[in-house]
Structure 1
């Protein structure tokens, strides 16, 4: 009889363990390599609060995130650039969760500390190829860019006028001689390991391994992005289909722009939206 009671108790506990009340909803997030570190911190903090969700994040790039949100293959997409006209649709909603500067960075041993926007544009077009032409050493400039799916690259090209028109189509004007880095972290490592390299990364990820250049006299700081003097900046967007979000997903969206999450964004070096 005792064994029967114990067996029944174990069976009851097993049944309770798989009830819907204890199951966690998965929220799938796909998109920007630059915005994903902030969204990952948001997700970890939110889940640690005891919310009944598991947030799964993949970061193949902004373009992939926009597509995933539009076709419904992910609950949320993330982009680190504004959407192009052809990417917009009436049922695709955009939520700005933070803003971010794009820092143009060089190796800490590089004596150049400031460039004009025009000089940076000409470096990436391949018209300026030696550091001596911008006040540095007589050494070739190693320009490093991001892959074409990168939202950071898309925003950088738009801001720095690095687009040209060919047969009626706008294409990148970045020199084909520029090295391509797959990801924010990979680009930063490349610049940190080469004294003659130049690249661009999220302002929120700048650390002591690289030196952020002032542009047109304005230092790359959060305050200067806010006051408009540092103009190389872009939004971090979360995208979702109107009316298609679950209750838990909508609560996560609301939380990301509330005070707790925005305080985290500010501490991480991003520009808050409230």
Structure 2
């Protein structure tokens, strides 16, 4: 009978532990709410992938995401119409052209490599900083001047408020101004629009983050350095930024759980990397 009493005592203890400590499945099932995300189109592929994965584990959480440019993210958070503002700069601090958004917290979620991209027709795969400055300012107007074929250059730019534009101007053009009009100038609103414009417009040049680069365009080297993960990490390629999820104060509830998932090793070293972003832990 002693062995029976010991067995029953063990069963009772296990029952009590199970009752007191909920399983991970139970915790996930209990998480509920709605998360609205707005802002950076550069970060949109990452956001959509993370949302799909997070919702599978947390079916009672609804997530909606849209992208109209980085500045619209913290603006939407300030107005109370978004829980997360995706932004290609830390919007809690002042940056050239944009004042800080007081009361917002910058949650770092990714490293974003950006690249100058050209239509396959140009015959160009490497440009110097000076050549990029001359092309995007309108000083150089023919591909022949920079080693390509004899054809007019079509410059495609992002509209004001784009985080990709902010970073490309600061880091690829070293702060030099863009041209803003002309028969060889186009302006687009999102990374998706930039991708389509460069792919389909002969002799076009633009810029985009690596998540959108396809085999229908060429991501050019800058000063003979390719826009690759390895070159960003080793410091030889400079055109990159951190991506942030801006929140009104410290995130809580489902919003915090979602951001924690995006920052987790599982996502950072898995889906994030497959989408051509770089884990934040990779940068020293």
* TM-score in terms of structure 1 length: 0.83
**1:70 is aligned to 2:78:** yes
**1:131 is aligned to 2:136:** no
Match of 2:118 in 1: 106
Q: Using a 3 Å threshold, how does the CA distance of structure 1 residues 50 and 141 change in structure 2: closer, same or farther? A: same
Match of 2:105 in 1: 93
Match of 1:216 in 2: 223
- Any conservation in 2 of the 1:32–1:61 contact (CA below 8 Å)? yes
The offset of 1:251, in angstroms, is: 1.2
The offset of 1:220, in angstroms, is: 1.4
- Any conservation in 2 of the 1:225–1:231 contact (CA below 8 Å)? yes
Match of 2:267 in 1: 261
Match of 1:12 in 2: none
Unmatched tracts of structure 2, length 5 or more: 1-28
* Residues in 1 aligned to 2:129 and 2:68: alpha-carbon distance in whole angstroms: 29
* Residues in 2 aligned to 1:173 and 1:193: alpha-carbon distance in whole angstroms: 22
Q: Which of structure 1's runs of 4+ aligned residues deviate more than 6 A?
A: none
Q: Using a 3 Å threshold, how does the CA distance of structure 1 residues 162 and 273 change in structure 2: closer, same or farther? A: closer
Pairwise CA RMSD of aligned residues? 2.0
* TM-score in terms of structure 2 length: 0.81
Q: Using a 3 Å threshold, how does the CA distance of structure 1 residues 87 and 43 change in structure 2: closer, same or farther? A: farther
177-186 or 36-45, larger mean C-alpha shift:
177-186
- What secondary structure, in the 3-state scheme, does the structure 1 residue paired with 2:120 have? coil
Deviation string 1:158-205 (CA, Å, 9 cap, x unpaired) is 2234656xxxxxxx5334232112211221222112231111111121
Q: Using a 3 Å threshold, how does the CA distance of structure 1 residues 23 and 216 change in structure 2: closer, same or farther? A: closer
Match of 2:13 in 1: none
Aligned equivalent of 2:257, options 231, 234, 251 = 251
Count residues in correspondence. 246
**1:30 is aligned to 2:52:** no
